[in-house]
């Protein structure tokens, strides 16, 4: 499976990253992505040591300027909680970026079964009990995360692209918007802040000469965007987001994901997402808004 993403703008001042989430959600794979992007990555640090690590890494004489920490539910064996650590880090002005990875229960179960591992919270109970316990323990951290990525349908290459599209270079003072097309028949994206439905537009799939094209191709884009209500819908979404983003920023939310759905995620949602992204970039030209476009189901059948 391959997925197409628009590349985000880059900034030279990345924030420290805390990578966390569900066991089996792809934390180790995400760590490799950040290592490849030039981050110094430390894995499985207890909560208190995360603060010490950030203190050392962000000192003026530090030999590194891009750092990421991977921590999961196993850190509960030590004193302090990850939520307390995040709060203290923010109070000290470290401004960590929290990336939370998760997947659907059935996907996590399949991943654990494939590597014959037990869940760290499973004890003598079935695997699904450990997963349920972990979701409960991480609920507060998930709620305060900057970006949540559902890895259920992502290959390692798709995960890399999703991180790059959603995270960019973690610039201070920038707000990041990801417009993600998807197909409702593959499920709504669990990590979207806003989900919008464009199935009210005629489906190019039923036009034989357009069926094999996709929403990134000009014939489909021209057809979709010329339909009655399409332009008004895009205008309304751009106006809505423009007004909402100021409120999100006031509330400290600098990463926003908008899901645009159609039936299969091939035509209408793709074309509309591209157009929304284009208009947002044009409206925010020269400002502090980074806009990325991601097509989750473009290559799926």
Which residues contribute to the annotated binding site? 72-75
- Residue 118 exposed, middle or buried by CB count within 10 Å (0-12, 13-18, 19+): exposed
**H-type alpha helices, 16-81:** 27-36, 47-57
- Residue 173 exposed, middle or buried by CB count within 10 Å (0-12, 13-18, 19+): exposed
Buried b / exposed e along 134-163 (16+ C-beta atoms within 10 A): bbeebeebeeebbbbbbbbbbeeebbbbbb
- Cα-Cα-Cα-Cα torsion 222, 227, 231, 234, nearest 10 degrees, comes to -90
Terminal-to-terminal C-alpha distance of the chain:
10
Maximum separation of any 2 CA atoms in the chain, in Å? 63
Specify whether the CB–CB gap between 128 and 176 falls below 8 A: no
Annotated binding site for GTP: 72-75
Sheet containing 194-197: which strands, arranged edge to edge?
A: 4-5, 289-295, 175-183, 255-262, 194-197
CA distances from 188 to 101, 236, 237 (A): 16, 21, 18
Look up residue 59 and give its DSSP letter: S
- Cα-Cα-Cα-Cα torsion 173, 260, 27, 155, nearest 10 degrees, comes to -130
CA-atom Rg of the chain in angstroms = 20
């Amino acid at each position: 499976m391959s997925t197409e993403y628009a590349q985000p703008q880059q900034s030279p001042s990345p924030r420290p990253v805390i990578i966390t989430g569900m066991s089996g959600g792809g934390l180790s794979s995400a760590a490799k992505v950040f290592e490849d992007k030039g981050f110094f990555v430390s894995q499985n640090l207890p909560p208190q040591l995360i603060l010490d690590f950030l203190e050392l890494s962000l000192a003026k004489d530090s030999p590194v300027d891009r750092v990421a920490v991977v921590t999961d539910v196993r850190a509960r064996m030590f004193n302090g909680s990850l939520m307390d650590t995040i709060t203290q880090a923010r109070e000290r002005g470290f401004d960590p970026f929290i990336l939370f990875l998760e997947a659907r229960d059935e996907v996590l179960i399949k991943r654990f079964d494939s590597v014959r591992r037990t869940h760290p919270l499973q004890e003598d109970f079935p695997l699904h009990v450990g997963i349920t316990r972990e979701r409960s323990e991480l609920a507060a951290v998930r709620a305060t995360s900057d970006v949540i990525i559902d890895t259920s349908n992502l290959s390692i290459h798709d995960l890399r692209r999703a991180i790059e599209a959603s995270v960019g270079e973690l610039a201070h003072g920038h707000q990041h918007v990801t417009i993600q097309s998807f197909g409702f028949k593959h499920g709504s994206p669990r990590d979207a802040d806003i989900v919008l439905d464009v199935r009210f537009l005629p489906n190019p799939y039923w036009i034989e000469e357009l069926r094999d094209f996709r929403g990134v191709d000009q014939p489909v884009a021209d057809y979709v965007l010329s339909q009655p209500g399409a332009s008004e819908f895009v205008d309304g979404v751009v106006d809505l987001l423009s007004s909402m983003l100021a409120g999100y920023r006031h509330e400290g939310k600098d990463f926003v994901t908008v899901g645009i759905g159609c039936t299969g995620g091939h035509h209408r949602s793709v074309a509309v997402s591209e157009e929304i992204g284009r208009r947002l970039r044009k409206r925010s030209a020269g400002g502090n808004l980074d806009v990325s476009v991601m097509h989750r189901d473009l290559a799926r059948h």
